[in-house]
Amino acid sequence: MIIEAGYDIVTLADASLNRNSRTRRALWMITMDEYLHLVTTTRIAREMDLPVAAYIDEISAALRQPPLPVRYIALAYRATSPSSDSTWLGEIDERLTADGWLGDVELLGQVVFDRTGYFSTVPRFSFRDYIGLEHLPRAVSVLGPHDVGCECVACVHFEQMLLENRQSAEADSG
């Protein structure tokens, strides 16, 4: 699955959180690779009874576990009584990213459900529609590979993957 929009993240978060009464109390992390392909939905904490920033060590530990590599993450959880102040979620994002503990991993945002709906710092629609997210990969469907020397997205990606596979095979045999 390719994550093309924040709505994809909200759908995954909703499915993870609302499976049963136990999953509703958990902190979930959705991980994606450099091409925004879904890697995992991981339960970070079974019972989220502290503010999300208190789980940085658990999130860091989960990011070091296979399957790797992870380039983007989103967090999802349920709040019993979120603040009516609209700035609280953005402030949490800032705290989570301020210390640089994520390294090269980018937090795309959080999805927080309550009794009536959800709050989110994840862009709702296609990432291409948001200023500041121009660097994110685009979901494109182009059949390929094409003729030698083609520089379309599909062919460049195919050549990159082929090169990485060859290098890996050489390293394993050498």
**E strands, 27-105, in order:** 27-32, 38-45, 72-78
Q: Choose between 49 and 99: higher pLDDT.
A: 49
- The structure tokens listed for 120 are 């989110």
Q: Quick one: tokens of 65? A: 């576990």
- Cβ burial of 6 (10 Å; 0-12, 13-18, 19+) is buried
Show the CA angle centred on residue 87, arms to residues 81 and 90, nearest 5°. Answer: 100
Q: pTM value?
A: 0.73
Q: Tell me, what's the pLDDT at 84? A: 55
Tens of pLDDT, residue by residue over 11-21, are 999 888 878 87
Q: Enter the tokens of residue 8.
A: 């994809």
Could you tell me which CATH number the domain at 6-129 has? Answer: 3.40.140.10
